[in-house]
Amino acid sequence: MERSGYNNMDIQPKRLADVVYDKLCEAVVDGTLAPGQRVRDGDLAEQLGVSRMPVREALQRLERQGLIEMIASRFTRVTAVTAEMPAQSLEFLGYQLGISLRLALPRMNDEERAEAAELARETGGHVTTDAQKAYETTSRLGTFLAGHSGNALFETVMADAWLQVTRNLRGTFPLVKDANEMADDFARLADLIGSGDEIGAETQMRDIFQLGAGQPGPAHAVEGLWDDVLN
C-alpha cells in the first residue's frame, strides 16, 4: 500500500485506539482510502507506527459504521459507493435535520437558538459560492442540534451517520434548487429557529431538500457526483 497523509504519529498510549480510529476515519471519508480499496491491518499499523491491535479495533468500529467491509480470512476493504448512495444520503440528511430541529428547539434557551440560527444563516451565505463550506456549516448545525436533542441515542446515531453522509456526498452541499432560492430558504429557516418554531423549522428544512408530498426530491442534485469512480 502506498504511503499517504496518515503517517507515523506521536500518540498517547491510553488513547491509541481512538486516535487510530480518527485517522482511518478521516482517510476513508476524504478518499485517501478509496471506495473498494483493500486494506491490511499490518500495512496500516506500519504506516501509523502502532501495533496491529488498535488498527484492528478501529477497523471493526468502522465496519459497524458501514465504512469498512470485513470478510474473515478473505479481505478487508473500504465499502464501495453506488450510484444511489449520494441521493439516499441527501434524502436522509434532509429528513434527519428536520427531526433534529423538532427535538432540539423546544429544549434550547434563547442563546442556543440564536447560535443555531446563525449557523443556518452562515450556510445560506455559503450555498451560493462554496459547496464545501456550505456542507461544513450544515454539519456543524446538525451536530449542534443533535447535541441539544435531549436524546442520547439520536445523538449517537447521527454522529455515526455523518461519516457515511460526508463520504457519500464528498463533503459538499449540492444545489438542490436555484442557489439564490436556497439562500433565501436558509434565511427563513434561521428566522424560524430564532423564534423557536420547531414545526415551521422542520417543514422549512424539508422544503430546502425538496422532500415531502408534491416535491421532486433531491436526487437530481447529485447526479454524476461519483462518475469519476463509477465509470
Q: Which of 30-44, 72-86, 88-102 has the highest mean pLDDT?
A: 88-102
Residues 73 and 90 in one domain: no
Q: Is 159 within the bounds of a domain?
A: yes
* Mean pLDDT score of the chain: 91
pLDDT at 11 over 50: no
Domain count, the chain: 2
Q: Which of 64-73, 144-153, 160-169, 211-220 has the highest mean pLDDT?
A: 144-153
Give the tens place of pLDDT for each residue, 168-205: 999 999 999 999 999 999 999 999 999 999 999 999 99
210: left (phi over 0), alpha (psi -120 to 50) or beta: left
Q: Which CATH number belongs to the domain containing residue 193 in this structure?
A: 1.20.120.530
Residues 96 and 206 in one domain: yes
Dig out the grid coordinates for 32 from the structure.
485517501
Reported residue count of the chain is: 231
Q: Is 36 within the bounds of a domain?
A: yes
| CA atoms of 99 and 198, how far apart (whole Å) | 9
In a 10 Å sphere around its CB, with 0-12 CB exposed, 13-18 middle and 19+ buried, how is residue 88 labelled? middle
pLDDT at 139 over 70: yes
Residues 207 and 133 in one domain: yes
Instruction: Compute the radius of gyration of the chain from its Cα atoms.
Output: 19
Domain span holding position 172? 85-230
Say what percent of the chain tops pLDDT 70: 94
Q: What's the confidence (pLDDT) of residue 13?
A: 47
Least confident of 12-16, 162-166, 171-175, 223-227: 12-16
Give the tens place of pLDDT for each residue, 38-55: 999 999 999 999 999 999
Residues 66 and 157 in one domain: no
Apex CA 193: angle with CA 120 and CA 111, to 5°? Answer: 95
